[in-house]
Amino acid sequence: MKKVSLIFALFLAFSLQLQAQDSDKKGGLGIRAGAGFFSFGGEDASNNDYDNRIGYHVGLYNTFFLGSSIAIEPGVFYSIKGTQNEDFANSRAVLNYVDIPVLLRLYVTDGLNIFLGPQVSFLTSSKFEGDLFGSTVAFDTESVRSTDMGMLLGVGYNLPKGLNIQASYNYGLSPVFKNSNVDVYNRGYQLSLGFTF
């Protein structure tokens, strides 16, 4: 938890410093939260009955305009990912990460934008759960990689009074498990509501 707090504090300090230097430009610091629908993807995942697991994400971002229609947006988010399997135990993987995306936004209009960028995610905890005999059984696992690399792409829209909405697809590039012959990846969609201060 100390690592998560430190990452958020460093991001906030860095963003405020850059914002002070670029105070004459549009953009700014904001908060964003929403729902995620994740599962395991990849060729090896097609042989299993993985289903989307609903989680959430919440965090900070800062938008820096490089011109009238292009912006860079770093962020830091706490995000719950994983997958679910509709087997007899309703088994599921619960993977908690700190995501650090750096997005390039292209504004098609004043409000409508498309974005793309890399993301590095740091695992904060992981466990497997299942429902047996009316109770939930859970155990932690050390088989999940501590770092996950991926790409984000999506579409967003800026609403009045600092509000914004977006939909994105997270395409994981690093196998979830280490020392495994089965390569599966974190893949999923996120729907978000944000507010720029």
pLDDT at 184 exceeding the cut of 60: yes
User: pLDDT tier at 128 (50, 70, 90 boundaries)?
Assistant: confident
- Tell me the average pLDDT across 66-81: 95
| pLDDT tens by residue, 34-66 | 999 999 888 876 667 778 889 999 999 999 999
What ranges make up the beta strands (E) of the chain?
A: 27-41, 50-51, 53-65, 70-85, 92-107, 112-132, 135-140, 147-158, 163-172, 185-196
**Cα-to-chain-centroid distance, residue 14:** 20
Query: pTM here?
Result: 0.81
Question: Going by CATH, does the domain composed of 2-196 fall within 3.40.50.1370?
Answer: no
> How far, CA to CA in Å, does 163 sit from each of 3, 67, 103, 113, 141?
29, 21, 18, 14, 39
Amino acid type, 142: E
Per-residue confidence (pLDDT) for residue 129, from 0 to 100: 82
Of the listed ranges 85-89, 156-160, 164-168, the one predicted with least confidence = 85-89
Tell me 162's DSSP state.
Answer: G
Q: Which helix (H) or strand (E) holds 18?
A: helix 2-21
What residues does each domain of the chain span?
2-196
Between 10 and 22, where is the model more confident? Answer: 10
User: pLDDT tier at 119 (50, 70, 90 boundaries)?
Assistant: very high
